[in-house]
Amino acid sequence: MDRTTILTELKKVLVPYTENKTMLDGITEETDLIKDLKINSANLVDIIIDAESQYNIEIDFDSAEKMYLIGNCIDIISDKLNQSA
Amino acid sequence: MSKRVVITGLGVISPNAMDVPGFLHAIKNGVSGVKFMPQYEELKFNCQVAGSPAFEWDNLRNYLTETSLYGLKGKGIAFGIKAALDAWMDAGNEITSEGTLWETGCVFGSSVADTDVIKNAITRVDAKESKKLGSRVVEQIMNSGVTAYISGRLGLGNKVISNSSACATGTQAILMGYEYIKYGMAKRMVVGSSEYVDAYIFGAFDSMRVLSRKYNDEPTRASRPMSITAGGFVPGSGAGALILEDLDFALARGARIYGEILGGSNNSGGQRGGGSMTAPAATGVIRCIQEAMNNASITGQQVDLISGHLTATIADKLEIKNWVQALGLTAEDFPMVNSLKSMIGHCLSAAGSIETVAAVLQIVHGFVHPNINLEDANPEIINLIGANNLPTKIVNRKINIVAKANFGFGDINTCLIISKYDK
């Protein structure tokens, strides 16, 4: 799965967690989940749970801590996808 | 110096209505909200009827942010949010996300945290899937969940308290809010209570053999307070909320005033002298009602209407005996008595707040709502207070003062004295 496809699918995962749908439409790898999308930091775990089920992967604690920019999220997800492939 | 405390906003979710205008219509016309529950038949409960609000999650769409609503599963919390926010807006307030309202607090009660949410947690943990629970479970299984949501949405900065005292919870919450304002600790309080009775709570009551079981095929006739054929109560779900304000604070912002809380009392019989875990001691009940009247500086003769606890068990006639002794009146000069539970069942923690909303509406609109299912009043009750004081049809008349009481497991009593607002 390429980075653009992951980003498109990640957008769908993020929909319930941000009020700022316009910002979500235009996200790039530099978009910050908390600062830009105003996602409640407590809800990051829900995004991780949803991403795990969306991509059928497991995201460990250490990896999860790095998921603050969209780009980081894509790094981790593609990494885990490659591991499970 | 103590302050006068007025009521400026009302909100309700009841088995027979989803908002205050609908509720006013329902209680004037004796509309029952008790329904047959197919699930309870399947679960082999003795009682297969319940008071169940026609709630859908979409009802909350304009009350919470989309992200907050997503992941909210607790219905008791949902009922509380809707009733409290309706009351807030009814009082002429806006919901903004700017600034903290330091002068405004909240006392909102419930009896258990949402068992559907707890069940989900138990199932996941037992299946060794606790990591899938996510961030939204704790806030809904904590007993303070409902107050946390309400105060967060409204930005309340004064006392935020979640109270619990079984069936006395609702009136206790209102009394606590009243006291904070009366003694100058807050200017405005969002008060009330909510209850969502799911199959687990219901089953536990069913096992106590205190629920109605003879009217499963006639649900609207099942809740029969003060009737000779009363055979147990019908559990109900819902929420009631009021906005209480310091009179000067309310006048300064030009608020519409529905009525005034003149006083009240909350005590316990100590589970002595006939009182127990499940039954109130008569001495405690009488003392509570008399303290409430003394606190409000009124006499028994001034009470126009008693909104009883009156759940449709054998305790009804004992309750009426207690009211008679507490007020010191005979059948000739006794006030009218009604029980909202005849229409909606017993909403447990939410009973006191929903019934107080009904009491305020009867004061504002000048009527006594009917006791439905009272075509066969208990003769012992008729002997005590007279058949004329047990209306089965709406009675249109001026109501200045209502005494509203609830008695809860643990032998906890609360009585409120609510009056028309008089400058």
User: Which structural domain, as residue segments, surrounds residue B198?
Assistant: 5-259
- CB contact (8 A) between residue A42 and residue B135: yes
ipTM of the complex model: 0.89
The mean pLDDT value for B171-178 works out to: 98
B407 plus B364 within the same structural domain: yes
Task: Residue B135: list chain A partners with CB under 8 A.
Answer: 42-46
B303 plus B225 within the same structural domain: no
B303 plus B205 within the same structural domain: no
- CA-CA distance, B323 to B337, in Å (whole number)? 10
Task: Quickly count: other Cβ atoms within 10 Å of residue B61's Cβ.
Answer: 10
In this complex, which of B65, B70, B134 lies closest to A45 when CB atoms are compared?
A: B134
B288 plus B255 within the same structural domain: no
User: Which structural domain, as residue segments, surrounds residue A52?
Assistant: 3-84
In this complex, which of B70, B132, B135 lies closest to A16 when CB atoms are compared?
A: B70
Task: Residue B65: list chain A partners with CB under 8 A.
Answer: 19
Task: Residue A16: list chain B partners with CB under 8 A.
Answer: 66-67, 70-71
B192 plus B341 within the same structural domain: no
- CB contact (8 A) between residue B132 and residue A46: no
Q: Which of B222, B243, B259 is the last residue of a domain?
A: B259
B69 plus B176 within the same structural domain: yes
Q: Which of B259, B282, B300 is the last residue of a domain?
A: B259
Say if residue B78's pLDDT is above 80: yes
Task: Residue A39: list chain B partners with CB under 8 A.
Answer: 67
Q: How many domains is chain B partitioned into structurally?
A: 2
Task: Residue B132: list chain A partners with CB under 8 A.
Answer: 49
* Residue range B11-60, pLDDT digits in tens: 999 999 999 999 999 999 999 999 999 999 999 999 999 999 999 999 99
Residue pairs between chains A and B whose CB atoms are closer than 8 Å: 26
B294 plus B228 within the same structural domain: no
Contact criterion met (CB below 8 Å) for B222 and B49 = yes
Q: How many domains is chain A partitioned into structurally?
A: 1
* Residue range B125-168, pLDDT digits in tens: 999 999 999 999 999 999 999 999 999 999 999 999 999 999 99
B165 plus B36 within the same structural domain: yes
- A60 in contact with B, Cβ within 8 Å: no
- Which residues lie below 8 Å from residue B341, measured CB to CB, with a gap of 6+? B223, B225, B233, B234, B236, B310, B311, B312, B351
Q: Tell me, what CATH number does A9's domain have?
A: 1.10.1200.10
Separation of first and last alpha carbons in chain A: 11
B163 plus B236 within the same structural domain: yes
pTM of the shown model: 0.96
Q: Which of B259, B292, B326 is the last residue of a domain?
A: B259
In this complex, which of A16, A18, A43 lies closest to B135 when CB atoms are compared?
A: A43
Tell me which DSSP letter residue B259 carries.
E
B226 plus B293 within the same structural domain: no
B232 plus B325 within the same structural domain: no
Q: Tell me, what CATH number does B349's domain have?
A: 3.40.47.10
Q: What percent of chain B has pLDDT over 90?
A: 97
Window 14-33 of A, Cβ < 8 Å to B: 16-19
In this complex, which of A19, A46, A49 lies closest to B65 when CB atoms are compared?
A: A19
> What region does B136 belong to: left with phi over 0, alpha with psi -120 to 50, or beta?
alpha
Tell me which DSSP letter residue B127 carries.
T
pLDDT at A85: 61
* Residue range A17-49, pLDDT digits in tens: 999 999 999 999 999 999 999 999 999 999 999
B235 plus B268 within the same structural domain: no
Residue B205 C-alpha from the chain's centroid: 18
Say if residue B220's pLDDT is above 80: yes
